[in-house]
Amino acid sequence: MELDKNTKILIVGLGLLGGSYAKALTKKGFTVKAITRSQSSVDYALGEGMIEYGTTEPDPDVIGWADLTVFALYPHVFVEWIGKYGKYLKKGSIITDVTGVKSCVVYKIQDMLDGVEFIAAHPMAGREVYGVQNSDDSIFKDANYIVTPTDKNTEEAIKKCRALGHTLGFAHVSELSPEDHDLMIAYLSQLTHCIAVSLMTSSSVPGLKAYTGDSFRDLTRIARINEDMWSELFLLNKKPLISMIDEFSGELYRLRTYIADDNVEKLKEMMRTSTERRKAFDKTNMSEKD
């Protein structure tokens, strides 16, 4: 199901993701307005025809106009914004977000609102570049869109939020509790970024740049990291992330022990498990695309 074409959409925060939302939704014929911090982002988005109207001011008329407001801000900015301007949101309207961590934000925002429903979502799409100038709605094409409802959400809002995911062009739209989402993201996304950073900073071999193969390049591609965004996301998801780092470190230590002890049988067994899981995983991905 796609979103009703008459839905008036406001995007708060025209960065890479907010801009990509604006692009996709305007293309589909929606009326999209935007509030963002810098005038140059407004000018760019207007110049590219990505939005109908944009402003750097938290104008109550613009805020109160929207049926659906998408917050594409850093988590702490999102919470501050709602604290200051949440009162201007249209009663009966829905707000959603793009925040990469959920438990720490969802309940807090829901408690702050009155007459406005917050249905949280995480679009698992991104690029290693930033800003509205790099926005690109094709990043949604093969990606996951996860809605993370709580007991406070209505069936109708959940449906609308899922419809937004489909309208944006995401390949997979699904639902997870905020807690399951955060555990999953700790493992699949945050831990991999921690590994890439640690791999990059642990280099003590001189002149190795000339010898990198594909595997090292693949593992460290994400080591070019936006430190403001990721440090905030790591700290907001501290508990699941630390437990995942510990679990991974334990497995790496197990492997190290097998190597140190010349335990070739255990070493092979661990590699077989790894191979089987990775194979099953490729199969799942393939069948999803069929």
**Which one, 56 or 144, has the nearer CB to a copy of itself?**
144
Residue 98 as a binder of a copy of itself (CB under 8 A): the answer is no
**Which one, 52 or 232, has the nearer CB to a copy of itself?**
232
Residues 69-88 that bind a copy of itself (CB under 8 A): none
**Which one, 106 or 241, has the nearer CB to a copy of itself?**
241
CB of 12 to a copy of itself, least distance (A): 24
Span from 51-59, 109-117, 162-170, 189-197 in contact with a copy of itself (CB under 8 A): 189-197
Residue 228 as a binder of a copy of itself (CB under 8 A): the answer is yes
Residues 260-289 that bind a copy of itself (CB under 8 A): 260, 262, 264, 267-268, 270-275, 277-282, 284-285, 288
**CB 129 within 8 Å of CB 11:** no
Span from 26-34, 65-73, 77-85, 248-256 in contact with a copy of itself (CB under 8 A): 248-256
**Which one, 1 or 235, has the nearer CB to a copy of itself?**
235
Number of chain residues interacting with a copy of itself (CB under 8 A): 87
Span from 26-34, 44-52, 58-66, 227-235 in contact with a copy of itself (CB under 8 A): 227-235
Span from 29-37, 64-72, 87-95, 239-247 in contact with a copy of itself (CB under 8 A): 239-247
Q: Tell me, what amino acid is at 209?
A: K
**Which one, 65 or 78, has the nearer CB to a copy of itself?**
78
**CB 38 within 8 Å of CB 46:** no
**Which one, 46 or 267, has the nearer CB to a copy of itself?**
267
